[in-house]
Amino acid sequence: MRARIVFTKQGALRYTGHLDLHRLWERAMRRAELPLAYSQGFHPQPKISLASALPLGFSSRAEVLDVRFTDEISTEKIAAQLRDNLPKDIQIKNVDVIDERAPALQTQVLSATYDVHLTEQVNGADLNKKVEALMMSESLPRERRGKSYDLRPLIEMLSVVTQPDGKVWLRMTLAARNGATGRPDEVLVALDLEPESARVERTRLIFQSN
């Protein structure tokens, strides 16, 4: 069977990268004594696929993975057995059964939403102006690893949220398609903000609805 698990990744786990997270899940499934399916061959690989790599240092409220099991088990049982076998900074939010023939998870991600907490003092009104100017611009030519690209079309939504306590957040939706992924820290740089002084949390992954 194929199951889709939505989980959080917080605290210390922010510093665990994509490959390590993959291994972490494999071990968690093993500890939970779930019948994880493996690929054939000399070096069998567990059939776990993570929807979208989360950059190191970001927390997330809703990461998504697909996993295949060799036996049928109820989603409640999957959740219950995993719950006691995960590090404290990962929590299961939801488990669903997925059609075996559904397309690969990674190909279905369209975009991702982020909350960015700014730890340094920022003037909300000024930031609002900058955000407006950024969203009005036609293109934002940038470079990443020696390749030039346009940041502007990758930003689907960007807004400033001022909390009752005066703290300023940014909320954004960025493209997260294969080969067209917007990074929140690049948006911060475009707004003259220091990425180091921001705490970024991925709040949602948006998939193709079919």
Partner 1 sequence: MLTPEQIETKLDRILLKVQKPGRYVGGELNSIQKDWAQVQIKVALVFPDIYDIGISNVGLKILYDQINQREDALAERAYAPWLDMEALMREHEIPLYALESKHPLRDFDLIGFTLPYETLYTNALNILDLAGIPVRATERDATHPIIIAGGHSATNPEPMHAFIDAFVVGEGEDVIHDILNALQRVKGQAATFERKTLLLELAKIPGVYVPQFYETTYLDDGTVEKTEPTITGVPKVVTKRISAHLPPAPTKFIVPNIEVIHNRVSVEIMRGCTRGCRFCQAGMITRPIRERSIEEVVDAADAAVRASGFEELALMSLSSSDYTYIKELVEAISKRFEGRKLSISLPSLRIESVSVDLMEMLKNHRTPGFTLAPEAASERMRRIINKFIPDEDIINTTREIYRRGWTTIKLYFMIGHPSETLEDVQAIVDLCKRVVEEGRKVAGWKVKLNAGVSTFVPKPQTPFQWVACDTKENILEKQALLKRQLMKDKNIKLSWSKPEDTLLEAWLSRGDRRMSDVIYTAWKNGAKFDAWDEAKKQEAWLPAFAEHGLDPAFYTHRQRRTDEVFPWEHITAAVRKSYLFQDFRQSLEGKIRVDCRLNCYACGILPTFANLRREHPGEGWKCPEVKSPMKSAAHLQIPVVSGAENG
Catalog residues that contact partner 1 under the rule CB under 8 A: 11-17, 19-20, 23-24, 26-31, 33, 38, 44, 56-57, 85-89, 119, 196-197, 199
Name the residue nearer to partner 1 (CB basis): 20 or 126: 20
Name the residue nearer to partner 1 (CB basis): 119 or 208: 119
Name the residue nearer to partner 1 (CB basis): 8 or 108: 8
Q: Which residues does 182 contact at the CB level (< 8 Å), separation at least 6?
A: 151, 154, 155, 174, 175, 176
Nearest distance in Å: CB 145, partner 1? 17
Nearest distance in Å: CB 33, partner 1? 8
171 forms beta bridges with 115, 159
3-state SS assignment for residue 184: helix
Looking only at the bridges linking them, the beta strands covering 198-207 and 59-68 are: parallel
3-state SS assignment for residue 205: strand
Name the residue nearer to partner 1 (CB basis): 79 or 98: 79
Interatomic CA distance for residues 152 and 179, integer angstroms: 15
Nearest distance in Å: CB 16, partner 1? 4
